[in-house]
Structure 1
């Protein structure tokens, strides 16, 4: 029964760890899978920290009477099949590489019983893109579940492929709500989902304005924050994410939309060539405080 089955998360990085915290809120087990034992140790410590900082009563959601956390187990890939047999949902949270994600999804389809939902947490690739070219046993059970920074930021975007059964989406919407997420249904396959498409347009226009010397990064961010009352402006946000990552995302959008202007990507390429990657390199649009 679903009530006794848990969630398997492949990848013990930041997203996999934070999702494991969220999916254990209704008393069901979570299985965190990673090939790196040290990463699994870090994940276990972080989940314990999150449970202390964000107790069960701190987030919305119906827990079905459960007052205890679900058991979290931390395992290496050789125990993946056993974990999936005990799960109703498996989510890949591996790094943002399309070949890697396709490989993991193919593996999960081969291991998981037919009633297990398989999802991707990719931020830039749709589930349709990931499934393309794969030979699948059960092509109707796949979805994307894109999260941001749980538990502080609870929205998730849930998107199916053309072959996904409607009841899969319905179940994910219901279960994610019960676990304290705020789910939004992406009704058609969409590169960038909903929020990231809007955010991409903001980034793109910011880069265009800077390339045209309409304003400085400091002026853009100051105006943006003054109008929208946000803690960070678009330049600060891009510095935090990493300008190399921003460029990779923009290149992916451009693959599908050749009409997009090239100037934003050209500006990013120049900055990256100059060693300006943002926070990670100490300098991007802004010089970071030491």
Structure 2
């Protein structure tokens, strides 16, 4: 299977749908083995910005990948052009379910029938977005962290994915300098995000119960775990409204989760304490915005 995928990768393009931060960084890593990469977005500005980032960063990344060789990267705003003869399509659009369902319907229509179709979604298992896809054996999640800095990528089945395709793609990702992890079954939050969600949730519980304040929790976390930032600092960076959305999603899947963390977040959001973006969350960051 790996030999077949490598042959396709040498002779056919890999396509990234969405030229945002994550899509651009994925395209960067795909371009490290000499194969053609196409970056698609409806926004001309987004594709040009993405290409500029790749052109600037690729020479720095190539030496970090064994046998690295810069491949051509082309940008396009026409989906059918992007998908011509593609062997791999990675969707990296915003976390909107209707949008993802729609785009996978278009992938089914325009992409070659043997192309692997993957989503980077961290919120929606790929089985939720394949309603318009007939050949579901080739669909799965590829959840990237933040390459080229964080190169872990989690690979999860849609429930009907051919296992050899997942194993082959994992081996291919290894050649790109990525670090793939195969999930044995579907998991809301995959591996890393699910563990991190539990850390955030328990930190919120400790604060909500009045055991100690967020600053103390962050301080002991940093000292014992050895990280530069604690969970409350990181939540302020993400935005507490986003943190609550994620927690609500987990609670819908796991009804046994405690309510206290979500209630604390709701109270802070009601006071416009969303974190860095409003100037105040668990910490203060200067001028607040209304």
TM-score, reference length from structure 1: 0.93
Partners of 1:93 and 1:122 within 8 A in 2: yes
* 1:1-290 → structure 2 map (5 Å cutoff): 1-2=7-8, 3-52=10-59, 54-59=60-65, 61-63=66-68, 67=69, 69-76=70-77, 79-131=78-130, 134-288=131-285
Q: How many residues align?
A: 280
Residue 83 of structure 1: how far off its partner (Å): 2.2
The separation in 1 between residues aligned to 2:81 and 2:55, in whole angstroms, is 24
The separation in 2 between residues aligned to 1:90 and 1:57, in whole angstroms, is 25
Is the alpha carbon distance of 1:80 and 1:135 closer, same or farther for their aligned partners in structure 2, counting shifts above 3 Å?
closer
Partners of 1:62 and 1:179 within 8 A in 2: no
Is the alpha carbon distance of 1:189 and 1:62 closer, same or farther for their aligned partners in structure 2, counting shifts above 3 Å?
farther
The separation in 2 between residues aligned to 1:106 and 1:239, in whole angstroms, is 36
What RMSD in Å do the two structures reach over aligned CA positions? 1.4
Residue 55 of structure 1: how far off its partner (Å): 3.2
Partners of 1:120 and 1:143 within 8 A in 2: yes
Q: Which consecutive residues of structure 2, in runs of 5 or more, have no partner in the other structure?
A: 1-6
Residue 62 of structure 1: how far off its partner (Å): 4.8
Partners of 2:85 and 2:112 within 8 A in 1: no
Where in structure 1 do 4 or more consecutive aligned residues deviate above 3 Å?
none
Q: Which consecutive residues of structure 1, in runs of 5 or more, have no partner in the other structure?
A: none
Partners of 2:117 and 2:138 within 8 A in 1: yes
TM-score, reference length from structure 2: 0.93
SS at match of 1:55: helix
Residue 75 of structure 1: how far off its partner (Å): 0.7
Residue 268 of structure 1: how far off its partner (Å): 0.9
Residue 289 of structure 1: how far off its partner (Å): 5.0
SS at match of 1:118: strand
Q: 1:234-272: per-residue Cα shift (whole Å, max 9, x none)?
A: 011111111111111111111111111111111111111
SS at match of 2:203: helix
